[in-house]
Amino acid sequence: MASSQTVSNPDVNSSHSRESKRKKRRKIGDAGEIEPQTSLDQSRWRTDTEQQIYSSKLLQALRHVRRSNDNPSPVNAGRAVRETADRVLAVTAKGRSRWSRAILTGRLSLRLSQINKKHKKAKLNSGNIKSKKPAAKKRLPALQRKVRVLGRLVPGCQKLPFTNLLEETNDYISALQMQIKAMTFLTGLLSTGGAGSVAAHPDRLG
């Protein structure tokens, strides 16, 4: 009797079938290790237009940093320039790559890590934690060790699969090459003509 009611009601059957399809799609999504990623175009970092956009944004950001810090020490000034250059590079990438998103969220991650270190120190000082012997680490193959080192060098890419890591690395290297070229050009331009020449001739940034 129950089977005849199920067959006679097509709405119930269609809802069950849709639910089963959703469950299957959910399982497939959970099982997949490599997420689909749009291919990164490394050639765009070699264009004059991209260098001009980055140079103009970097110049504006450096002016803002200089106004906010009147008399910084040489060490702090160098760190501020480096952080500003990397942050502007990530903004120029428009979040298309994992490394650019990692740079933009780096300050928040640094703050969270500092808070976690404080909590760990407080627990250690309380003396409630029993000392444990460190577990013996297994020595990884040479290729796997090199892949891990490469993942640490590229921001936000420590846990990426090898193919995605190579793509992010190529894009990151191309962006850094463009950054060096733009900063070298800006350094020479500012040392010879000052900031006024850059504002008077913005077309020379490329």
Tell me the pLDDT tens digit for each residue of 130-144. Answer: 555 556 667 888 888
Q: What is the pLDDT of residue 75?
A: 77
pLDDT mean for each 10 residues of the chain (206 residues): 48 56 49 53 87 92 84 81 93 92 79 64 58 66 91 93 94 95 87 59 50
**Cα 199 from Cα 188, distance rounded (Å):** 15
- Three-state SS annotation for 73-89: CHHHHHHHHHHHHHHHH
**How many whole angstroms separate alpha carbon 21 and alpha carbon 11?**
15
Q: Are 206 and 50 in contact (CB under 8 A)?
A: no
183, 124 in Cβ contact below 8 A?
no
* Angle made by CA atoms 39, 42, 43, in degrees to the nearest 5: 120
Two structure tokens written together for 133: 């012997």
